[in-house]
Amino acid sequence: MVAKIKKAVIPVAGLGTRMLPATKAIPKELLPVFDRPIIEHVVKEAIAGGVTEIIFVTRSGKEAIENHFDAHYELEHRLERKGKETILGTVKNVVPEGIKIFSVRQSDALGLGHAVLCAKHLLNNEPFAVLLPDVLVLDQESRDNNYSFAQLVKAWDKTGTGQVMVERVQPDAVESYGIADLNGELAEPFKSQPVNGLVEKPSLKDAPSNLAVLGRYVLPSRVLELLESTTPGVGGEIQLTDALDELLKLEGLNALETDAEIHDCGNKQGFLGANLAVGMRDAETKSVIKKLFESNAW
Ligand code: G1P
């Protein structure tokens, strides 16, 4: 029987330099997308996929992320006294009861692969998910929230083979992502297909496709062993992509293409786009945004 995905690693140790000065004193993961921090959207996505243990890989100066998911007794007490039940609900129940939040430190910025390896002792030889909080996966409005990640987990449940979520990106963007080689095969949305190779941030001429790995992974624990012997790759960092390229030769790896809107909140334009996209899903805000765009001011 295929082991269930209970644990998710969410690396949050990045400095957020692309978002400075906004991130000088505030972790980038706590910048709001519409009405809540980006990290809350991502944690909820993990939980919707069946995850019950969240492991933040963090660093000094980013304690506010853990605080966001912890109780804030004074605030809760004051809101309760004032009868502000609705707001109280959003503050109190950031994650449902029974969800456990852990954190582990990454003291050196040695790359995504290294960040994942920092959580090894909490992963207990179980398969796990990795969700990168820069990326907001906004599923089509007609679907349940967080459909794409849940589909990724389902594909694991069916096969026991590691899964990565991919989406087509513009040719000039391939050098910013891990790129999947599907052996010339065209991926169909939500059909999990074998990956032939993975390459981290290739130049356009070396890119095997324009299918980018978007920061959502469901992986067997074997990848941790592989990460232990992965040497620094692109940017001098230990790349998760490189360990996955090894994994696929040993036991296969599948890609699942999503048709969700992907917003890279790690840069200013992507962050703004994410805010507008999520805001447009709220009826009241939608009419305000539409009026602004229709006014002569813009
Ligand atoms: C990381 C991964 C890359 C992936 C990307 C998704 O890169 O290394 O493979 O495609 O996230 O956002 P980073 O954006 O951290 O440089």
135 lines ligand 1 (CB under 6 A): yes
Q: Which candidate, 154, 136, 141, 103, places its Cα nearest to that of 264?
A: 136
* Close Cβ partners of 6 (under 8 Å, ≥ 6 residues apart): 50, 51, 52, 53, 126, 128
Cα 77 to averaged position of ligand 1 atoms, centre (Å): 41
Q: How large a percentage of the chain has pLDDT more than 70? A: 99
Report whether pLDDT(186) > 90: no
Domains of the chain are: 7-295 (3.90.550.10)
CA distances from 163 to 5, 152, 160, 185, 272 (A): 12, 6, 9, 16, 29
Which residue lies with its CA nearest to atom 10 of ligand 1?
A: 177
What is the band of 136 on the pLDDT scale with cuts at 50, 70, 90? very high
pLDDT at 69: 95
Angle at 217 between CA 3 and CA 211, to 5 degrees: 140
Report whether pLDDT(297) > 80: no
200 lines ligand 1 (CB under 6 A): yes
Decide: helix, strand or coil at residue 42.
helix
Choose the residue to mutate in 132, 179, 217, 253 for probing ligand 1, maximizing ligand atoms within 8 Å of C-beta: 132
Report whether pLDDT(187) > 80: no
8 A C-beta contact, residue 126 and residue 3: yes
Ligand 1 atom nearest residue 178's Cα: 9
pLDDT at 288: 93
**Angle of the 147-159 helix axis to the 38-48 helix axis, nearest 10:** 40
Report whether pLDDT(124) > 80: yes
pLDDT in tens, 140-182: 988 888 999 999 999 999 999 999 999 999 999 999 999 999 9
Cα 117 to averaged position of ligand 1 atoms, centre (Å): 16
Choose the residue to mutate in 15, 28, 213 for probing ligand 1, maximizing ligand atoms within 8 Å of C-beta: 213
What is the band of 296 on the pLDDT scale with cuts at 50, 70, 90? confident
pLDDT at 16: 87
Other C-beta atoms closer than 10 Å to the C-beta of 129 total 26
Cα-to-chain-centroid distance, residue 101: 16
Rounded Cα–Cα distance for residues 91 and 70 (Å): 9
Cα 178 to averaged position of ligand 1 atoms, centre (Å): 6
Q: How large a percentage of the chain has pLDDT more than 90? A: 86
Angle at 214 between CA 64 and CA 39, to 5 degrees: 15
Average pLDDT over residues 260-277: 94
Average pLDDT over residues 83-110: 91
Report whether pLDDT(185) > 90: no
**Angle of the 268-279 helix axis to the 283-294 helix axis, nearest 10:** 120
Cα 214 to averaged position of ligand 1 atoms, centre (Å): 7
Count Cβ atoms within 10 A of the Cβ of residue 20 and give its class: 0-12 exposed, 13-18 middle, 19 or more buried: exposed
pLDDT at 242: 98
212 lines ligand 1 (CB under 6 A): yes
Average pLDDT over residues 37-42: 97
Rounded Cα–Cα distance for residues 23 and 124 (Å): 33
Q: Global pTM?
A: 0.95
Cα 90 to averaged position of ligand 1 atoms, centre (Å): 31
Count Cβ atoms within 10 A of the Cβ of residue 221 and give its class: 0-12 exposed, 13-18 middle, 19 or more buried: middle
Identify whether 21 is preceded by a cis peptide bond (ω within 30 of 0): yes
CA dihedral 75, 81, 84, 86 (to 10 degrees): 70
Which tokens is 48 given?
A: 């919707």
213 lines ligand 1 (CB under 6 A): yes
Cα 241 to averaged position of ligand 1 atoms, centre (Å): 9
Rounded Cα–Cα distance for residues 234 and 250 (Å): 22
Average pLDDT over residues 44-60: 97
Cα 213 to averaged position of ligand 1 atoms, centre (Å): 7
12 lines ligand 1 (CB under 6 A): no
Ligand 1 atom nearest residue 14's Cα: 15
